[in-house]
Every structure is written in C-alpha cells, then in structure tokens.
A and B are shown apart, each in its own frame.
Chain A
Amino acid sequence: MAKRVGMEVSIAASEAVKLADVDVIAAYPITPQTHIVEHLSEVVADGELDAAFVPVESEHSAMSCCLGSSAAGARTFTATSSQGLALMHEILFIAPAMRLPIVMVVANRALSGPISIWNDHSDIMAEQDIAWIQTFAENGQEVFDLVLHAFRVAEDSKVLLPVIVNLDGFTLSHVIEPIEILDKAEVDKYLPPYKPKVRLDPRKPVSMGLVGIPEIYTEAKKATDEVLINSKKIVLKAWKEFGDLFGRYYNPVESYKTEGAEVILITMGSISETAMTAIDKMREKGLPVGLVRFRLWKPFPAPEFKKAIAGAQTLAVVDRALSPGGACGPVAEEIKAALYAERGRPKVFNFIAGLGGRDVTVENFEEIVSKAFAYAKKRPKQFYEMIGVREI
C-alpha cells in the first residue's frame, strides 16, 4: 500500500527511480541535483536496488554512458542541472535520434554567467530542440508521479523517446513535503519491464548511430519529429491510467479559475502554486483573472492550450529565462507562434521573472496582472519586460 511520508523532493525522485527498478544510472553530481544521485548511489551500494551506478567524470560522459546502456536494452536514468545539462548538449540530440528511452530529471538552475547555483529555467530553455519529451513538476508529489510516468511513456513501443522531468532547483528539490510513495507492487502494475524493439546484442548484431548522408538526414529528422508529436497520445494515456490506478489525474495544461477571466497568467513549474495564491487574492478583489500552467512542455500541447485560454482577451506569460536580443522569452515565443494564425487571438504580454533564484512573489504576480490590464489598453513600447529589476 502507498504510504504518505514527509520526504525531501530529491529523495522522492530517487525513490521513484528505485521503484522503477532501473538497470543503469550514470550521473555526475551537480548542485542542486546532487541529492538525487547521491541517494541512488546509496541504495545501489546498500543492495536495495540491483543496478549499475556509473560514477562518470563529466555530464558529457554521463549522457554518453546512458546512450550506450539504453542501446544495450537497459532501463537507464540520469539527472543533472544547469552547466551539467549544457555539457550534455551535443549528446542530448542523439538519444531521440537513436530512439533510446532514457529518463532524466533536471533540477532546473540558472546558467552561468554570472555563476549561479539558484533556480530558473535558463538551463532547460537552452535545450528546446533536442526532441526529448519534457514535463514540468509543480510540487513533490508530481515529481514522484512524473518520474514513473516518464519511464512508462519513454518505453512505450509507440514512443521510444527519452523524457526529461523538470523540477525547480532548491524551490522543489530541497524542500520536504508530504508525498505519497507507492509500493513496489503498485508501481509494477503501472510500469511493465522494458522490452526493447532492437538492442545491441552480439548474438544478433546491429549498427546504431550511423552517419546520415544528405539523402537521408531530412527523412531521419522527420521520422523523429513525427514520433515526438504523436507521443502526446501516449503521454495522455499514461496519465489517464496513472489516475485510474492511483487517483491522481494529470493534464498537459492545467487551468485555475479561468472562467470569465479577461487576463490569464501563464506559468510553468513550482511558481504556479504561488500564482494560484495570487489569483485567489485578486479574485477576492473582483479582478477577472485566471491561471493556466503547462505540465507538458514538449511536444507542445497546442490544442489543449488554445482550449484552456479560450475567451481570454489578454495573456500574461511569465518566462523564467531570457532570450537575449530576441522578441520575447522562450515560453512566450512558443505561445505567440501557436496563436498567430488564430482568429481573434488574445494579446500576449511577456514578463521575465525569477531569474537566478530571485523569488517570484504574490506581489510580483499582482504587478504582472495589473500591467497586463494596462498594456491591453495601451500597448507597451518593449516586447518583454523584466520584473523586479532595479532601474537605478
């Protein structure tokens, strides 16, 4: 039976990995991901998990090792943050191209420079084109549930793509929350053993990761893109089955008090919970505001998003990463692109907040909403605006 326990979210993430009975973990410790792999190395050393823990010399090696172990048919996990994710960059693209269902937790942290160990989304937003499925967790329970969901989706024979579960560094990774930990029998019901369709096996040799000449590269990219787009069906199915088994249902896009909302806030990750408190406060004052937040980020759930924001005149998109010199932040950019061809599309204003560990407060959300109301009447001069920046 599932047990509700007070647990650090990082430990809950690694407990989910343990319950998923992974075969190989290749990881390099980096703040704020460290507790996840530290705990996994302990459970492997203590014999609680029969897996190979590969203490690699860098994240580049970690991802390369994951490629190899997943190609051999092993259930494979890694976790990283910020500079570590950036160091994996060139290998990240290869995993989906080779259709390797690796699961990775990214404890989101700002990229240098200046050096920052604190939370924002600049690490993951620099990896938007890697063709991994990506989800964002809002709280500790979601982290636990999304890790199990990630294995289930990644290894589905119709998907076979790697999955990243994003969780906010420190804000989520280092807090202790009451989390319902499923037992092994329950997890086994949800997550069958991984049956690779093709794997490295000396008895039946194959070649993987070969050159794609100009005559085939485009087709190879198209094939991966199609699988990623179509993986959404399996993402949704796996959430439905999770809900049916354990009572917690998840959607790619979640709405909060959007009925009759003129302005809708758009968020991702743990700041969504603060945003809900802010919405409650503003609704009490009679402001017609609501909140829409992404749980599934890639493949971008465009139809679900359009349905969620239908009726709103203005969107206030909060980005936790800067796209310097660009038109707006990465989340706003995706949203604007998705809405551009829509008739009667809402106005979209973009606010950059919570960079490098700066708190995003209820007051910040109130400021964002009040600016969105004002900009809807009088267009602002700038494409995007940084919230809380000291103008002196």
Chain B
Amino acid sequence: MAKIDAVMGWKELDLGCVIRQPGSSRAFKTGDWRSQRPVVDRDKCIKCGLCWVYCPDLAMVPAEDGYYAVSLDYCKGCGICAKECPKDAITMVLEED
C-alpha cells in the first residue's frame, strides 16, 4: 500500500509552503486509507468504461487491451465502481484478505 513519505523539517519548507514543481501532486499517493480494494473479473467485464467514468479519483486506468486497471496508489476503496458496474464484474475485497 502507498505510504505518505513526508519527513521534511520545518527549516526545509519552501517560503509559505509554495510548490514550484507543477503536477507534483501525482507523486502524493492518496490510496493509503483504503480498507477495501476493487477486483475486476475480466470474464464478466464488457469494457463499457462506466467504472472509469464514475471513479471520483481517476483510479480506473484504461489499458491498451480495452480493460480497466485499478491504480492502488490513488484508489480509496469507496466502491462506487463496484456499485455502478452493470455486469457485477467488480468485487470489493477487504485489504487484509
């Protein structure tokens, strides 16, 4: 699971905590409070893309083969994809399992 890796001391912070590198929020993995993760059953998946449309965190990543992969760096385990999937191809699985 992604970990927040912020160990800067106060003297190292930039002026007013300004961020000079555009797009650096990609490096901030926000998936670490997830308790469940979505698992896609490719036998049931019809590549409709509704999971990708509904995911509030852009954690469903379209792959070249037309399927959708889950980015566990950002998935917070909300379960919207599983709820919206018209073919019940997505199951939420406890992280401990």
Contact = CB atoms under 8 A, between A and B. Distances in A.
Interface residues of B, number: 16
A100 B10 contact: no
Contacts, number: 52
B18 A208 contact: yes
A215 B6 CA distance: 6
Interface string B1-27: 000101111110111111110100000
Interface residues of A, number: 22
A219 B9 CA distance: 6
Looking at chain A's contact residues, the main secondary structure is: loop
Nearest to A96: B16
B22 A198 contact: no
A219 B18 contact: no
A366 B10 CA distance: 49
A98 B14 CA distance: 10
B6 A213 contact: yes
Contact of B22 (A207, A219, A220): A207
Nearest to A215: B6
B15 A99 contact: yes
Contacts of A99: 15-16
B18 A220 contact: no
Given A99-B15, A213-B4, A220 B20 contact: no
A215 B4 contact: yes
B18 A223 contact: no
A388 B40 CA distance: 77
B18 to A, nearest CB: 5
Interface in B38-83: none
A235 to B, nearest CB: 19
Contacts of A247: none
Contacts of B22: 205, 207
A215 B8 CA distance: 9
Contacts of A207: 18-19, 22
Interface of B: 4, 6-11, 13-20, 22
Given A206-B18, A207-B22, 20 more contacts: A97-B17, A99-B15, A100-B16, A160-B16, A198-B16, A198-B20, A205-B22, A206-B20, A215-B6, A215-B7, A216-B8, A216-B13, A216-B17, A218-B10, A219-B9, A219-B13, A222-B10, A223-B13, A223-B17, A226-B10
Interface of A: 97-100, 160, 197-198, 205-208, 210, 212-213, 215-216, 218-220, 222-223, 226
